Amino acid sequence: MTVRWQNWSGYHSSTPRSRVEPADIDELCDAVRTASTPLRFVGTGHSFTPLVKSDGTIVSLDKFSGIRNHDADALTVTAGAGTKLGELARAMHKIGQAFPNMGDIDKQAFGGALATATHGSGATLGAYHTQLEAINVVDGRGRVREFSRKKNVDDLLAVIPGLGAFGAVTEVTFRNVASYRLRRRRWTLSIEEMLDQFNIMMTSHRSAEFYYAPFSRIALFVASDLSDDVAVTRPPDEDDETMATLARVQRLTGWAPWLRKAVLRNALSGIAREDYVADWLTVYPSERNVRFNEMEYHVPIEKGASVLAEVIALMETRFSNVYFPIEVRVVASDEAWLSPFYRRQTASIAIHHQAGSDPLPYFNAMEPIFRKYGGRPHWGKMHNLTARDLQASYPRFMEAMSVRRDIDPENRFVSPYIATLFGIDL
């Protein structure tokens, strides 16, 4: 019996010929050798691109879960790639270890977060893949291979992030930091002030990000810094209520930008202030129950304010139906060959559109702005780039493709979408 698959937002779906959930490495190796192609790997479906979509076989790695071992002195953990981020964070905290940083969603499988260069925010903090010491993958011939910083660091830098096209990642070893607490503060300022002080604001805190509600002219700024103060209970998450408010304001005042601005100022003032101290794994994640589609581009940090100013101007001129906030973060540079942060400190700008309605007019209008400033797309967020575009953006793109061919010479992990991204003839 076939089972229909769809991603979290419901935008992408497929009905594969088979869906398998190997119980161990032997079953996975056998599936890679014998199952219908293309084989694509599924986590929780939080990518907005058709990375998992396949009419061949969808492979769940949920059974490859949990911490296998850890080193308390070196602050390293080895875990199954199917472990969900929140589950992994809780297990690590119990043994005194912590991610240096996290994204704002902790539902994803760790392997999926690594495959798409998922990240949090902090000018000196890298994406999850920067923590990697070693990974085990099953290659296209069904053989287990290890890539590590000690043995073959270039290959390691080539395969992650790999979009599930460089083998089935089964186990990862990563370095952490000792558990810590954060003081999280949230306040508002005008968007004009935020853009004017962009670099200072985004680099003066361990972690900094902000949100801009369309037509509000207000930036909601969030800063998190290390603290030794006593942890308290985190205040209730208001994201769902805020989204309901923004949708209602757009529906009632979308015809009058001046009225929408006034109403939003009043509404946002009621949710803005926040100041508390809590353990790291409590501070980073947020509940995201209102579904959406997303485009996120990564631009040089020094261009962040200019890009955002153009995005806001175009949005508020042409897209009065948009009410989801723009999310802005910063990420440290790294050396992974296909990382959007390859050798440049980055400002990440994410735009969102409510699920169930067509996001393409909005996203397609904004994408040329991102590209004009040298933007690289988030691998798990919607974009229209192909291999030719990506080769121009990634200096080591062709070298990464050579490593991929060695891992998967028969293209067993290559769907039509992956073929378009990587320039592979099927």
For the chain, which residues make up each domain, given as ranges? 67-178, 181-377
Which of 229, 383, 238 is CA-nearest to residue 325?
238
Q: For tokens 């599930």, name the residue.
A: 164
Q: How far lies 405's CA from each of 164, 166, 167, 422, 425, in Å?
A: 13, 8, 11, 11, 12
Length of the chain measured in residues: 426
Contact 338, 400 (CB under 8 A): yes
> Distance between CA atoms of 48 and 12, rounded to whole angstroms?
8
Which of 409, 414, 183, 217 is CA-nearest to residue 312?
217
pLDDT score, position 231: 94
Phi, psi of 190 (to 5 degrees): -70, 150
pLDDT score, position 2: 65
pTM score over 0.85: yes
At 268, which helix (H) or strand (E)?
A: helix 257-269
Secondary structure string (H, E, C) spanning 141-209 = CCCEEEEECCCCHHHHHHHCCCCCCCCEEEEEEEECEECCEEEEEEEEEEHHHHHHCHHHHHHCCCEEE
> CB neighbours (10 Å) of residue 261?
18
Adjacent-strand bridge partners of 279:
181
If one looks up domain 67-178 in CATH, what number appears? 3.30.465.10
pLDDT score, position 239: 83
Q: From the CA atom positions of the chain, what is the Rg in Å? A: 21
> Distance between CA atoms of 227 and 413, rounded to whole angstroms?
45
Specify the amino acid at residue 307. Answer: V
Which of 148, 149, 145 is CA-nearest to residue 406?
145
pLDDT score, position 1: 52
pLDDT score, position 115: 96
If one looks up domain 181-377 in CATH, what number appears? 3.40.462.10
pLDDT tens for the 426 residues of the chain, in order: 567 899 999 999 999 999 999 999 999 999 999 999 999 999 889 999 999 999 999 999 999 999 999 999 999 999 999 999 999 999 999 999 999 999 999 999 999 999 999 999 999 999 999 999 999 999 999 999 999 999 999 999 999 999 999 999 999 999 999 999 999 999 999 999 999 999 999 999 999 999 999 999 999 999 999 999 999 999 888 888 889 999 999 999 988 989 999 999 888 877 768 999 999 999 999 888 899 999 999 999 999 999 999 999 999 999 999 999 999 999 999 999 999 999 999 999 999 999 999 999 999 999 999 999 999 999 999 999 999 999 999 999 999 999 999 999 999 999 999 999 999 997
